[in-house]
Amino acid sequence: MSSALSWVFRLGRSGRRRLIVATVLGALASMSAIGLAATAAWLISRASQHPPVLYLMVAIVSVRCFGVARGVFRYFERLTSHDASFRILADLRVATIRQLERVMPGRANGALGEGELLARFVGDVDGLQDLWVRVLLPYAASALAAVATVVLVFVLVPSAGLILGISLIVAAIVAPLVSTRVARGAAARTAPLRAEYQSGVLDLLDGSTELAVYGAMQSRLDRLERTDRALTRASSRTAIAAGAGSAIAVLAAGVAVWSGLWFGTRSVHGGALASVSLAVVVLVPLAVHEVIAGLAPAAHQLPALDAAATRVRDIFVLPDAVIEPETPAVMPKGPYGLRIRNLRARWDADGGDVLCGGDLDIEAGSRTVIVGRSGSGKSTLAAVLLRLLDPSSGTIELVGSDITVELRSMSGDSVRTVIGWCAQDAYVFDSTIEANLRLARPQATTAQLLDALRRARLDSWVEGLPHGLETMVGEHGNRLSGGQRQRLALARVLLADRPIVVFDEPTEHLDDATAAALAGDLLSATAGKTVIVVTHRPELFGEADSTIVLQDGRLSNSSLARSR
């Protein structure tokens, strides 16, 4: 097993005991199937001699017992193995989500786009369930059944037992190795190609309007088609590999059957084997090879599983976007201000600083506008304030009424209980207005929800809807206008009731009239809070206390500043 697959196996712990039980049940099911074949072969051969029926009763009952036991053991094996697999998969999902929470904020400008992330979290993680149900479990259960069968045949005919053992090794190890070797290159390409295809589909769907307007739709479709053809070729190569492994396994089974017939016949003539046992020696290899036959197709999945495990493990080796303190600092008492000194920050550890220094003092209860061109570092500054990204140097301090604490000495969750955020394109889920609001405060009462909507000037609109708070907003809020989406995001921020609120381009993509109305309502609704507005339209926020220029990543504390 590769290091990536071993890592995945170690990560999932909650289902291991059930997996062991499932292995035992699977082995008993396979032994029951083999026992059924052996007992039936002996019964038919003995019955052909017309003995008294009482001589056959034990065999008759054994056939019934093995037949029923095979189905019962197989049922409980499937039930237990899938339960174990889903538990282990749940552990992997939870661990992946927790890791993404730590690393994704620092990779906002990195290579892990939405399609790539979706492919790793959904496709690769979900695909790993085959590791336990279709690879590890069949091999472990088949190994136990195969050893018992070889011992049985060896006792009857030692030479046939030896040949059977060799044929099982060929079918269980050599055939899968050949299959894996043939499929390795193709399987290693399958996961990246699938991720590329999913990413292309998402980009195509998200940007379909722009692509159609600029006439670039066909080129994107052609690129997607090329990726699909490459994925099809890789899948075909994988199927050929599976067929090669199955062919070797079938050939090994044939050798075992003919060797059983050859050596069994000579043992009967030599008097070492009863004639009725010859059928057992000949037919049991068929039964045990039928159990082993599923191993070659299972093993040929290992390269694809290894590639998926490697891609998932790569997420876990990424450095955390923020380093949580071992002993978080005590939270100061409000009201809160901020003090920034010589702040520098970068998204990529190997890249240059996006924020390149400068000092800034934000008093408690003040309203500050930070203005700059696109790419000047405004969103990076917002990420650092929220502890979604740690600065490479410099400090940001939370100034309370009693003490001053550096943000890096506080846990990220603690910082975000003080500093709230309203993103430029705040995500609106395909659910009800109420559900979208309760993201900010799950235990909020209906009166609190309506109050937040009133302060965001959405109450009249909601009251006029047939279903009120239960109105569905559509995917990404597509049933709302741009202004309504931003006001819904504002209501969510107000409901969260953070002492400090950072607004990142709140008037982006809005017409002038709607943007001006939203800007005025934003400042009035957050009166008494410390408000930071990141925007490239400072003229909309004329009532702000100060306007700070962010140019080439450097803060200017005095530019455009004016007294309150």
Answer whether 448's CB lies under 8 Å from 495's CB. yes
**Which element (helix H / strand E) includes 144?**
helix 137-156
Among 471, 476, 441, smallest CA distance to 458 is for 471
CB-count exposure of residue 292 (10 Å: 0-12, 13-18, 19+): buried
Tens of pLDDT, residue by residue over 310-361, are 888 887 877 777 888 888 888 999 889 999 998 888 877 667 788 888 888 9
Q: Which residues fall within 8 angstroms of residue 85, CB to CB, at 6 or more apart?
A: 15, 19, 129, 132, 133
CA distance linking residue 342 with residue 355, whole number of Å: 9
Q: What is the pLDDT of residue 269?
A: 65
CB-count exposure of residue 99 (10 Å: 0-12, 13-18, 19+): middle
Answer whether 153's CB lies under 8 Å from 260's CB. yes
Q: What is the pLDDT of residue 272?
A: 66
3-state secondary structure of 354: coil
Percent of the chain residues topping a pLDDT of 70? 92
Low-confidence stretches of the chain (pLDDT < 50) are 108-111, 558-564
Q: What is the pLDDT of residue 558?
A: 45
CA distance linking residue 156 with residue 264, whole number of Å: 9
Strand partners, 551: 554
Question: Structure pTM?
Answer: 0.63
E-assigned strands of 390-523?
393-399, 404-406, 419-422, 500-504
Q: What is the pLDDT of residue 562?
A: 42
CA distance linking residue 164 with residue 156, whole number of Å: 12
Q: What count of residues does the chain have?
A: 564
Our measurement of the distance from residue 381's CA atom to the centroid of its chain's CA atoms, rounded to an integer in Å, reads 29
Strand partners, 422: 503
CA distance linking residue 427 with residue 475, whole number of Å: 10
CB-count exposure of residue 442 (10 Å: 0-12, 13-18, 19+): exposed
Cis peptide before 335 (omega within 30 of 0): yes
State which amino acid sits at residue 356. C
Domains and CATH numbers, the chain: 3-316 (1.20.1560.10), 337-556 (3.40.50.300)
Q: What is the pLDDT of residue 88?
A: 84
Q: Which residues fall within 8 angstroms of residue 96, CB to CB, at 6 or more apart?
A: 120, 121, 125, 312, 315
CA distance linking residue 80 with residue 15, whole number of Å: 9
Answer whether 391's CB lies under 8 Å from 346's CB. no
3-state secondary structure of 410: coil
